Amino acid sequence: GENVEQHPSTLSVQEGDSAVIKCTYSDSASNYFPWYKQELGKRPQLIIDIRSNVGEKKDQRIAVTLNKTAKHFSLHITETQPEDSAVYFCAASRGSSGDKLTFGTGTRLAVRP
Amino acid sequence: EPEVTQTPSHQVTQMGQEVILRCVPISNHLYFYWYRQILGQKVEFLVSFYNNEISEKSEIFDDQFSVERPDGSNFTLKIRSTKLEDSAMYFCASSERWETQYFGPGTRLLVL
């Protein structure tokens, strides 16, 4: 089955700096890659997603890149703010109806004011 | 904006007892899921459900687990005889068709 690796496990940046989180996946049939943000004790919230027919997607300060050949995808957060502090999970799915999400192990991002 | 809701928010039970976790998916969604997250770990898939049938289940979802859609709005996860290792946050999710899954706020289950 699918295996998703995520790095780093923790990341501390100064407010205003950029943060990059990287994930690799194993199943070449995966073609949908969402990123979720989870604040302490809260539900995972989708922040951005990308499909395999797209190499990059951007939404304001957040961008995701996908390299399907290398089976890796990354989350980029620019101009970080303290409210970006949370745990970020990448996930992968085959993208068919009802397909499960396989999550990475999470990255705890701390943005220092 | 519609959201997935879950009850209860917290559940404490004794080992061996049955628990039922309840979810109300977003109303026009057709696909339903249960995931769990042991404290400090990643979110793990348990089961997916469509058209009143289980679509897929993980190795975690053994005979002690069952799911049901008892009416047009609720989606439940039952654990028949809880074990200490069942202590976790359980998330329900739903999706309209494929792709985007929306998560509920979770039920924190503690088995003593």
Decide if B47 contacts B67 (C-beta within 8 A). Answer: yes
Q: Is the CB of B1 inside 8 Å of chain A's CB atoms?
A: no
Q: How confident is the model at residue A72, as a pLDDT?
A: 95
Banded model confidence at residue A1, pLDDT cuts 50, 70, 90 = confident
Residues B79-111: pLDDT tens digits? Answer: 999 999 999 999 999 998 767 899 999 999 999
Decide if B25 contacts B94 (C-beta within 8 A). Answer: yes
Residues B53-66: pLDDT tens digits? Answer: 999 999 999 999 99
Q: How confident is the model at residue A96, as a pLDDT?
A: 75
Strands B75-79, B19-24: parallel, antiparallel or unpaired by DSSP? antiparallel
Q: Given B30, B42, B106, which is nearest A43 (Cβ)? A: B106
Distance of CA A70 to the CA centre of its chain: 16
Q: Would the pLDDT of A99 be above 90?
A: no
Q: How confident is the model at residue A95, as a pLDDT?
A: 76
Banded model confidence at residue B112, pLDDT cuts 50, 70, 90 = very high
Q: How far is B79 from chain A (nearest CA, A)?
A: 20
Tokens describing residue B88: 């976790």
Residues A3-47: pLDDT tens digits? Answer: 999 999 999 999 999 999 999 999 999 999 999 999 988 899 999
How far apart are alpha carbons B66 and B12 in whole angstroms?
19
CB-CB under 8 Å, A43 with B99: no
Decide if B92 contacts B23 (C-beta within 8 A). Answer: yes
Q: Each residue of B43-65: b (16+ CB within 10 Å) or e?
A: bbbbbbbbeeeebebbebbeeeb
